[in-house]
Structure 1
Amino acid sequence: MTDAAIVGTGPNGLAAAVTLARAGLEVVLHEQADTPGGGLRSTSLFDSAVVHDICSAVHPMAGASAFFRSFDLPARGVRLLQPDIPYAHALPDGHAAAAWRSITRTAEHLGADGPRWTRLLGPLAERSTAVVDLLLSDQRSLPRDLRVPALLAPRILAHATNRTPFTTAEARALLTGVAAHAVGKLPSMASAAVALLLAHTAHSSGWPLPEGGSIRIADALIADITAHGGTLHTSHHVKDLAELGDVPLVLLDVSPREFLTIAGDRLPPAYRRRLRRYRYGPGAAKADFLVSEPIPWTNPLLRQAGTVHLGGPHTDIIGQENATAAGRQVPDPFTLVVDPAVTDPTRASGHKRPVWAYAHVPNGDTRDPVGMIRARIEAYAPGFTDTITASRGLSAAQYETYNPNYVGGDIASGALTLRQSLARPTPRRDPYTTPLRGVYLCSASTPPGPSVHGMCGHLAALSALRRHHGIRTSPDLSPTQGQEHI
């Protein structure tokens, strides 16, 4: 008999399945698409020898979160490759700022702001595991290291109120570009927390790219699930909970909007109203390019970076993000660019290599992003257009068609506001439970929110194990350990 059904095989659905299967439950997964992986999918778009990441490409949390630390991707053969410069920021007139793995080297390149950068992020990098565990928690548990909230609180408050300690254009843009990963209004409490989380990990666990593409992470998760008795059904769009049969546990890696559809009248009216009030944020518009050579960035620092932010000076980034969050189109939106072969040479085949990029746009935006993103890159890398041999664009509206969890192209599965960071998707003592017995939410619409960290799925599975099986500790997730079936 099936002990648990999981709907959706994104990183969180797979993490939930790993956790439950390791506890001895018989798990069945259902995936709408014909291939599993959600935001971890990779494929050959234009040339069979070149792999493109369809959603996520760079994974700061894949080596940092508690789930992935326990799961141990490197021990499973997934090489997490680290660029010397995790991220860099392009500025006008050929200037650029870079965050090196070494905080000392970063400070040396930031001039007068170097000591300030070190004071801001150094203490967080020294306690990185505890910082990550607090920010990637269920937001309801006391931290093990009480020094961490004391470190984070004044830093978050200062940056949420735009009281930056930096005076140079380089340092200001470098941190604001990371804050823009929150995909919403700037500055804010949520964006400040995101900035500190991502900026400090550049100097600790890094911003790695999986060798061979993001799909390698999904492959490792799926291999562990099947090794522990789990089964996977693709091309199955679950439209009603009744399709799952009489299963004691159901974990849903879906958006609140999708949950409303598949649960229907089973949900109490008050809870349905709360789910309908859940807010979605701006969208992502994605462009994939097949190019004949590395991006010809004017500034050589950008040629070494794993991720490049295109937004100009920090005031421009704030203007772009606030206009986008308000639903207004801007011609030059904040854009993230990755040339994967810079970090992973296996991604290049002869004179062919992928370029991954996406821009922040209003929710539901229908514009084809290829021309917009190409022009954005060309402004800092003259001649880029001449290197393109093929391209494909996905508007924000099309992103939702690709993955219903990305409502309006919102790849964060919900606006990252202060309220929705603490009460995703609705205020509940246990955010993964629902009014339906045995039915849990485990998507990025639950704490701690977006990114490939697996914690939403892992924490939801632990909640289900505690409530239904009396298991109060996490099963061993390491590669060499298995668990007897219950």
Structure 2
Amino acid sequence: MDSTADAVVVGSGPNGLAAAVLLARAGLAVDLHEAAPEPGGGARSARLFDADVVHDVCSAVHPMAVASPFFRGFDLAAHGVELCQPEVAYGHPVDRRRTGLAYADLERTCARLGPDADRWRHLMGPLVEHTRELTDLLLGDLRRPPTPGLAAVLAPRVLALGTGADELLFRGPEAPALLAGVAAHPMGRLPSLVAGGTAVLLGHLAHAGGWPVPRGGTQVLTDALVADFRAHGGRVHVHSRVTDLRQFAKTRAVLLDVGPRGFLDLARPLLPPRYRRALENVRYGPAAAKVDFLVSEPIPWREPELANTATVHIGGTAAQVRVAENTVAAGRRADEPYVLLAQPMAADPSRGLAHKQPIWAYAHVPNGDPLDATEIVRARIERFAPGFGDTVLASRGVPAPELEAYNANYVGGDISGAALTLRQLLARPVVRWNPHTTPLGGVYLCSGATPPGPGVHGMAGLHAAKAALRREFGIRALPTGW
């Protein structure tokens, strides 16, 4: 499979596509290879049960699409992508009577929190004021230190949220539950500094850009990137499984949207022993067990305001979220696992019909767990929405091993690409000044297993492509937008 292209990208998830777009816009001849029948990786949609209803296959809600410097430069709106903002960024039912609601409007959120209003305002307000600087830093390649002013805002908040000290700040259970629900996104031990950083980033974005869903489904993000790549001369090859990097021995730059294990599969005999051992020692974290539902009506939440959000965290109190996440991180199933749920029609009515609506959910489970979580997730929703089961027209469970079969980067169902520990965040995937480079000349890594980590933001692709342009082609002036 010798390529006549200047550059080759292997893997067409959001990061691979971001890299391909940047390289093609820089004037290079670029080939993109995808083993699956269509591009997209974790950013695909499908009509699973009914031709009138669009379900997201992996990612569903996209705060990073608003915040990401890559997508800012790409300009989604100019490519026909509409991001639909719900009135409530995310919700978190605590018990039968109390629910935390993070409105897009910070002051409205504070008003709902009553005696904790000032504390939430003090926590989130400065982050919202510094949102551009903050997101540029946290979505960077981890080599640029924060400015003193940003450090003064960021450090105490990450430390508080990352050590559990934030719970001492609040009087009621809603605010700590809201923060714990966001901190659980990385799937790992709580509290932790990584979880604290996640709560800072995603938590403040609720009030600074929102947690939107793309009109028509996540697939529209992929379609826009693919169309732009092709418009700049890029060539997409689907059903094209790459098995050996030596297939591209004559290509000047090869960018890999693959995880550590995938890189080993492609290049093991070529890698220096020390680097190879470092990749072999990468740890994988807890997994997601996916459940899709087709329902006959919106979820009958006890709290009516939950109908106005596309994202609901089901985990109970902050303490209950912590117990569930730590149980799974220890390799055991939680009796009441944390569930991340999306109801996209709360913001995008085009996804289905009034009597046929998609519901998307992940339960956190141990890595490689073969559990079909359908009934567990159904029961978790029923706790806060009695009668939900009566609305279910169809369902399907996708156990963690099947997620890996769908996307080889999800080892054991770990959708983060590797465990998000502090060590593996700072050395992702190995200790290296520029983590997107490799010991192999012209070969770069650009998956979510490299900084800044998982998410539909395209930033790993942007960082890797910038390095390749500079090092392999002497191109330092980036295309317009970046």
With structure 2 as the length reference, what TM-score do the two structures score?
0.97
Q: Match of 2:60?
A: 57
Q: Distance in 1 between matches of 2:227 and 2:421?
A: 36
Which of 354, 357, 379 in structure 2 is aligned with 1:353? 357
Residue by residue over 1:431-471, the C-alpha shift from the partner in whole angstroms, topping out at 9 and shown as x without a partner, is 00111000000000000001100000000000111111222
Secondary structure of residue in 1 paired with 2:184: helix
1:230 and 2:234 are equivalent in the alignment? yes
Q: Match of 1:324?
A: 328
Q: Which ranges of 4 or more aligned residues in structure 1 deviate by more than 6 Å?
A: none
* Aligned partner letter, 1:317: V
Secondary structure of residue in 2 paired with 1:181: coil
* Aligned partner letter, 1:14: L
**Contact 1:249/1:464 (8 A) holds in 2:** yes
Q: Match of 2:150?
A: 148
**Contact 1:34/1:235 (8 A) holds in 2:** yes
Q: Distance in 2 between matches of 1:348 and 1:469?
A: 47
Q: Distance in 1 between matches of 2:196 and 2:436?
A: 25
1:161 and 2:174 are equivalent in the alignment? no
1:303 and 2:317 are equivalent in the alignment? no
Secondary structure of residue in 2 paired with 1:92: coil
Q: CA deviation at 1:279?
A: 1.1
Q: Distance in 2 between matches of 1:194 and 1:460?
A: 23
Q: CA deviation at 1:472?
A: 2.2
Q: Distance in 2 between matches of 1:188 and 1:142?
A: 20
Secondary structure of residue in 1 paired with 2:67: coil
Q: Match of 1:4?
A: 7
Which of 315, 318, 322 in structure 2 is aligned with 1:314? 318
With structure 1 as the length reference, what TM-score do the two structures score?
0.97
Q: CA deviation at 1:103?
A: 0.5
Matches within 5 A, 1:366-377: 366-377=370-381
Secondary structure of residue in 2 paired with 1:397: helix
Residue by residue over 1:201-241, the C-alpha shift from the partner in whole angstroms, topping out at 9 and shown as x without a partner, is 11011111000000000001001100000011111121111
**Contact 2:310/2:345 (8 A) holds in 1:** no
Which of 20, 28, 33 in structure 1 is aligned with 2:36? 33
Q: Distance in 2 between matches of 1:424 and 1:462?
A: 18
Q: Distance in 1 between matches of 2:457 and 2:165?
A: 30
Bigger drift between 452-461 and 344-353 goes to 344-353
* Aligned partner letter, 2:380: R
Bigger drift between 350-359 and 8-17 goes to 350-359
- Number of residue equivalences: 477
Tell me, which stretches of 5 or more residues in structure 1 are unaligned?
A: 479-486
Matches within 5 A, 1:429-448: 429-448=433-452
Q: CA deviation at 1:167?
A: 2.2
Q: Match of 1:334?
A: 338
Q: CA deviation at 1:386?
A: 0.8
Q: Distance in 2 between matches of 1:332 and 1:474?
A: 48
Q: Match of 1:113?
A: 116
Q: CA deviation at 1:350?
A: 4.1
Which of 58, 79, 82 in structure 1 is aligned with 2:82? 79
Residue by residue over 1:345-368, the C-alpha shift from the partner in whole angstroms, topping out at 9 and shown as x without a partner, is 111224111000111110101000
Secondary structure of residue in 2 paired with 1:232: strand
**Contact 2:297/2:354 (8 A) holds in 1:** no
Matches within 5 A, 1:126-205: 126-143=129-146, 145-164=147-166, 165-205=169-209
Aligned residues with identical type, % of pairs: 55
**Contact 1:96/1:301 (8 A) holds in 2:** no
Q: Match of 1:15?
A: 18
Instruction: Please give the root-mean-square deviation of Cα atoms over the aligned residues, in Å.
Output: 1.1
Q: Distance in 1 between matches of 2:25 and 2:481?
A: 7
Q: CA deviation at 1:264?
A: 2.1
Q: Distance in 2 between matches of 1:184 and 1:240?
A: 33
Q: Match of 2:98?
A: 95
1:122 and 2:125 are equivalent in the alignment? yes
1:454 and 2:463 are equivalent in the alignment? no
Q: Distance in 2 between matches of 1:12 and 1:199?
A: 23
Q: Distance in 1 between matches of 2:122 and 2:407?
A: 41
